[in-house]
Every structure is written in C-alpha cells, then in structure tokens.
Amino acid sequence: MLDVGCGRGGGTARLARTRRPHSTTGLDASPRNVALCRRDHASPGLDFRHGEADRLPFPDASFDAVVSVESVHCFPDAGRFLAEAARVLRPGGHLLIADEWPAADAHGPARAAAAAGLRVEAVEDLTAGVLRSLDRLPAEAARLLPAVDGEHRAAYARFFADRVGRDSAGLYRSGRCVYLRLHARRED
C-alpha cells in the first residue's frame, strides 16, 4: 500500500496497523515530514519516502492500493497525480481518496480518475458528516487541550479554531467546498 501525501505519518501508521498489508509506504514532499515519520512510526513493513505526487518514485505496477487522505487538494496537478497512481497500481489495484474539493467541480475527481484510465467504483459526498464532526470539535478540543504541554497548547488551539471557523467548516458551510470519498480501480 502507498499513502501519498502522508504528512506526519499517523494515518499511514494506523493503516499499516489496522489493515495489515504486506508492506506500507508513506510518501511526502517534505523531507522534514519524512524524517519525523521515520523517527516516530518505525515498525517492520512500514517505510517512509520523500517524493512528489506527480512523479511517484516507484516502478509501474508496484502497489495493490494507493491512498491519499486530505492531500490531493494540495498537489500542484491532481490529474497528473491520478495518472501516476494508475501507473503504480497493479492490475485490479485500488485507489482511495478522501479530500475536500471545490463544489463547482465536484465531479472533477471522478472525471480525472477516468481520464487516467481508472474505473470509478464510487464517489460519495461526506460533507454533512464532516460538518457534524467539526461541530463536535470545540468540546473535544476543550477536553483535550489541558493535557497538551504549554509550549504546544496555543498552536493546537489555533488549529482547532481554524477547522471550525474560517477554514474547513467555513468552506463547507458556504457551499464552496465538498468533502468527497473516491474509490477507483485499475482495470485488470
């Protein structure tokens, strides 16, 4: 399994633990993130690599699954990433994406996946559920923040406030963005 845009690696490590693929690789464009991932999530079968989403540093047909969670919207060229994902997937392999997308182009991910030669299995709008989660975030933040050391508490408080206010929730509530789940497969 390949997780593209793995960030600090927590999601990648969780996927490796819970889904137990033979091997899991997290890829991120930030060398600092990769170093952090290698330090904090070292375990057998779990590797982290530096690389770009639009030039995946792997041979053709290398992975049974390619995953990207909340990263595609940051990639310079989502269509190029999807073409690269199709290239590194083995025949029958799965592409799974969960991310925000401009509402005006809500069909864009499915079109781009199809253009990359992938068969779209499902597209689901998860916006309502994401908003429900964000609505619960202030109470969760109030519960969790006292346990965070003082040096990091203010940064986490800003992060939580941004998610609920002007950042993600504001984009979803305004109708400018939707949160989509896409499942596509490389044809056999």
Mean pLDDT of the chain: 92
- On whether both 7 and 94 belong to a single domain, the answer is yes
**Angle at CA 67, nearest 5°, toward 61 and 73?**
120
Q: What is the pLDDT of residue 119?
A: 98
Nearest by Cα to 181 from 119, 124, 130? 124
- On whether both 151 and 60 belong to a single domain, the answer is no
Following DSSP, what letter does each residue of 10-34 receive, concatenated?
HHHHHHHHHH--S-EEEEES-HHHH
- For the segment 137-145, the average pLDDT, to the nearest whole number, is 80
- On whether both 93 and 143 belong to a single domain, the answer is no
Measured in degrees and rounded to the nearest 5, phi and psi for residue 10 equal: -60, -45
Structural domain including 68 reads 2-126+176-186
- On whether both 37 and 54 belong to a single domain, the answer is yes
Q: What confidence category does residue 100 fall into, taking pLDDT thresholds of 50, 70 and 90?
A: very high
- On whether both 121 and 135 belong to a single domain, the answer is no
In 3-state terms, what secondary structure has residue 55? strand
- On whether both 139 and 91 belong to a single domain, the answer is no
What whole-number distance in Å separates Cα of residue 91 and Cα of residue 117? 11
Of 16-25, 33-42, 87-96, 132-141, minimum mean pLDDT range = 132-141
What whole-number distance in Å separates Cα of residue 98 and Cα of residue 179? 7
Q: What is the pLDDT of residue 165?
A: 58
Q: What is the pLDDT of residue 163?
A: 64
**Single-letter amino acid code for the residue at 132:** R
| CATH code assigned at 106 | 3.40.50.150
Q: What confidence category does residue 121 fall into, taking pLDDT thresholds of 50, 70 and 90?
A: very high
**Single-letter amino acid code for the residue at 134:** L
- For the segment 29-55, the average pLDDT, to the nearest whole number, is 97
pTM of the model: 0.88
List pLDDT tens digits, range 147-182. 887 777 788 777 777 666 556 778 888 999 999 999
Structure tokens at 123: 């597209």
Query: Does 11 have pLDDT greater than 60?
Result: yes
Beta bridge partners of 101: 178
**Angle at CA 65, nearest 5°, toward 7 and 63?**
100
In 3-state terms, what secondary structure has residue 97? strand
What whole-number distance in Å separates Cα of residue 58 and Cα of residue 81? 13
- For the segment 93-118, the average pLDDT, to the nearest whole number, is 95
In 3-state terms, what secondary structure has residue 40? helix
Domain count, the chain: 2
